[in-house]
């Protein structure tokens, strides 16, 4: 702690854990992106909201940039500290504070993992329905900062709909207690909603009151093989009309190949270009008959080539692994990722243009894509060929991303469906948000964080703020 600013912070908060060893700087300075070299000033690990507030006030006084840090599973560089920032890790604020059975809410600290929230809800006979593959590592604060979506959005919506109250330390150092779990509260601007998805640029979540709900009825999981893209939207429309869908996820044969090589078990024989994993309510025999009838209709129409319905929980998990294991199976290749969305009705036309673009721009490069078709959300993973230098690869991918952003703009889509903008996509923000909107965003940021100390350089370039890169 030779930096005099850190010495001062230690004097202010004698109980605060501060780390500055090289290994710590590297560990806490990056997220699941690997594009930047971690270079934080130090790591602060507060244990309560008061300490967070004191750190933010100190940072304002000393013009030190802060990177709020959760599970660092983000894919857009939102938690990267590469420019001498203080990483403010919430990992020691990891307690479930209260379950309220009447309000059916769970109040938690921000460092609790999504998995721990699921477990706590389940122990009270309820569920917290936001879910995705990083559940064991991501922090609930991070899911709020990015308005995380995931695999159940089609049924339950995004994180935004499940946050009843937020305690936040704003960039100006004020502790805000937003909405306090009220169901109805029409008393001016809903800053709770503004903070959700703001990627740590307006405030730091220090406590969240999450809404819980009843578990869904028993469900069934089905894997479908499809002959072509046209079939995909037809099957989706059919299944949505006939069943109560909890998830409707698709992936390509490329994706399947990777996940099988990574240890998953093949569930349908033969070569098929597209697959769908779907989960739907199956409370009684009627629901199960409806599912079978929908499947048989799709088969007769030639929209599906084959299908499997899970006969046990283990088999359901095995089918899900085919979809959920994709990201992990690709991780060693450190793919370049796009995470895009359009309205569901725009999916066919967008897919047509997107496929043409990718085929043209990546002739020698493997592209794996999959996604949440029921939300209009596609994940594109571009794999660097062995002989290609990383810098050249990223330059080419950035070029294609710019073309992809133009395609999205034509189709009214978004360059970031659920990962956030962070560092990775800030150059493309104008494809999704107009200059007028971006100017208003910067204005609002200036209101909450007048000195620009919170996550500078994330979301948009931080002109005039300290320590932005």
Residues 198-227 that bind a second copy (CB under 8 A): 198-199, 202
113, 416, 451, 465: which one binds a second copy (CB under 8 A): 416
How many whole angstroms separate alpha carbon 152 and alpha carbon 282? 16
414 binds a second copy (CB under 8 A): yes
Residue 447 interacting with a second copy (CB under 8 A): yes
Nearer of residues 284 and 398 to a second copy, judged by Cβ: 284
Contact 72, 79 (CB under 8 A): yes
- Is the Cβ–Cβ distance between 137 and 117 less than 8 Å? no
* Range in contact with a second copy (rule: CB under 8 A) among 54-62, 221-229, 306-314, 371-379: 371-379
The DSSP line for 214-242 is: PPPPPEEEEEEEESSHHHHHHHHHHHHHH
Exactly one of 156, 204, 375, 380 binds a second copy (CB under 8 A); that residue is: 375
The stretch among 62-70, 89-97, 177-185, 263-271 that binds a second copy (CB under 8 A) is 177-185
Q: How far apart are CA 56 and CA 68, in angstroms?
A: 11
**Alpha-carbon distance 135 to 152, whole Å?**
13
Q: Shortest Cβ distance from residue 346 to a second copy (Å)?
A: 9
- Residue 337: name the closest of 35, 28, 79 by CA: 35
State the nearest-atom distance from the C-beta of 299 to a second copy, in Å: 23
Least separation, in Å, of the C-beta of 37 and a second copy?
A: 26
Measure the N-to-C terminal CA separation of the chain; round to a whole number of Å: 23
Task: Please state the closest distance from residue 235 (CB atom) to a second copy, in A.
Answer: 13
Q: Is 285 in the site for a second copy (CB under 8 A)?
A: no
Closest listed residue to residue 221, CA positions, set 326, 328, 327, 321: 321
The answer to whether residue 100 forms part of the interface with a second copy (CB under 8 A) is yes
Q: Interface with a second copy by CB under 8 A: which range of 108-116, 250-258, 289-297, 418-426?
A: 418-426
Cα distances from 138 to residues 71, 75, 105, 117, 424, in angstroms, run 4, 11, 20, 11, 19
Shortest Å, Cβ 293 to a second copy: 18
Q: Where are the extended beta strands (E) located within 109-231?
A: 163-170, 175-178, 203-211, 219-226
Least distance to a second copy, CB of residue 199, Å: 8
CB of 139 to a second copy, least distance (A): 16
| Site membership for a second copy, residue 2 (CB under 8 A) | no
Q: How far is CA 370 from the centre of its chain?
A: 15
Shortest distance (Å) from residue 429 CB to a second copy: 6
Please identify which residue in 61, 194, 229, 468 interacts with a second copy, judged by CB under 8 A.
194
389 is a contact residue toward a second copy (CB under 8 A): no
Tokens of 280: 């739907």
Q: How many residues bind a second copy (CB under 8 A)?
A: 73
Which of 19, 48, 268, 441 is the binder for a second copy (CB under 8 A)?
441
Residues between 127 and 156 that touch a second copy (CB under 8 A)? 146-147, 149, 153
How do beta strands 245-252 and 219-226 pair?
unpaired
**Residue 90 lies near a second copy (rule: CB under 8 A):** no
Residue with tokens 């899970």: 310
Place of tokens 């962070």: 422
The minimum distance between CB 92 and a second copy, in angstroms, equals 25
- Residue from 18, 357, 444, 468 touching a second copy (CB under 8 A): that is 444
Neighbours of 181 (CB within 10 A): 16
Our CB check for a second copy shows the closer of 40 and 456 to be 456
- Distance, in Å, from the CA atom of 315 to the CA atom of 326, rounded to the nearest integer, reads 17
User: What mask, x for binding a second copy by CB under 8 A, covers residues 320 to 359?
Assistant: ---------------------xxxxx--------------
Q: What character string, x for contact with a second copy (CB under 8 A) and - otherwise, covers 450-469?
A: ---------xx---------
Give the sheet arrangement for strand 219-226, strand by strand: 306-309, 219-226, 274-281, 245-252, 366-372, 377-383, 336-341
Q: Does 178 bind a second copy (CB under 8 A)?
A: yes
Residue closer to a second copy, measured from CB, 12 or 346: 346
What residues contact residue 20 under an 8 Å CB cut-off, 6+ apart?
1, 3, 6, 41, 42, 43
Yes or no: say if 390 and 384 are a contact pair by the CB < 8 Å rule. Answer: yes
27 near a second copy (CB under 8 A): no
């Amino acid at each position: 702690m030779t930096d005099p600013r850190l010495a001062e912070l230690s004097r202010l908060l004698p109980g605060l854990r501060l780390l500055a060893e090289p290994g710590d700087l590297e560990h806490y300075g990056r997220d699941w992106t690997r594009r930047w070299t971690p270079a934080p000033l130090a790591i602060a690990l507060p244990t309560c909201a008061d300490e967070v507030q004191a750190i933010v006030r100190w940072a304002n006084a000393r013009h030190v940039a802060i990177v709020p840090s959760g599970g660092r599973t983000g894919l857009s560089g939102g938690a990267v500290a590469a420019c001498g920032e203080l990483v403010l890790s919430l990992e020691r604020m990891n307690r479930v504070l209260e379950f309220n059975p009447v309000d059916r809410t769970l109040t938690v600290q921000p460092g609790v993992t999504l998995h721990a929230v699921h477990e706590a809800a389940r122990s009270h006979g309820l569920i917290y329905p936001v879910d995705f593959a990083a559940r064991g590592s991501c922090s609930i604060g991070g899911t709020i900062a990015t308005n995380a979506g995931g695999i159940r959005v089609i049924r339950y919506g995004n994180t935004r709909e499940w946050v009843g109250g937020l305690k936040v330390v704003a960039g100006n150092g004020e502790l805000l207690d937003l909405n306090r779990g009220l169901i109805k509260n029409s008393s001016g601007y809903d800053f709770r909603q503004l903070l959700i998805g703001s990627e740590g640029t307006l405030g730091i979540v220090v406590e969240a009151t999450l809404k819980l709900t009843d578990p869904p009825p028993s469900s069934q999981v089905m894997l479908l093989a499809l002959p072509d893209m046209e079939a995909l939207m037809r099957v989706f429309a059919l299944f949505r009309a006939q069943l109560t869908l909890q998830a409707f996820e698709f992936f390509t044969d490329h994706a399947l190949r990777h996940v099988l090589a990574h240890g998953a078990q093949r569930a349908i024989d033969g070569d098929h270009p597209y697959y769908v994993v779907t989960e739907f309510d199956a409370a009684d025999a009627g629901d199960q008959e409806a599912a079978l009838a929908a499947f048989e209709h799709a088969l007769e129409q030639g929209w599906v080539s084959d299908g499997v319905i899970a006969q046990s929980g283990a088999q359901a998990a095995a089918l899900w692994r085919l979809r959920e294991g994709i990201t992990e199976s690709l991780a060693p290749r450190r793919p370049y990722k796009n995470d895009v969305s359009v309205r569901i009705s725009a999916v066919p036309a967008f897919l047509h243009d997107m496929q043409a673009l990718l085929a043209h721009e990546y002739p020698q490069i493997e592209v794996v894509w999959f996604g949440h078709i029921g939300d209009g959300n596609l994940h594109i993973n571009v794999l660097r060929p062995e002989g290609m230098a990383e810098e050249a690869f990223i330059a080419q991918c950035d070029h294609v991303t710019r073309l992809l952003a133009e395609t999205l703009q034509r189709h009214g889509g978004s360059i970031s469906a659920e990962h956030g903008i962070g560092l990775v996509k800030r150059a493309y923000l104008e494809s999704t948000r107009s200059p007028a909107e971006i100017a208003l965003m910067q204005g609002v940021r200036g209101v909450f964080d007048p000195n620009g100390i919170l996550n500078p350089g994330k979301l948009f370039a931080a002109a005039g703020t300290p320590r932005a890169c």
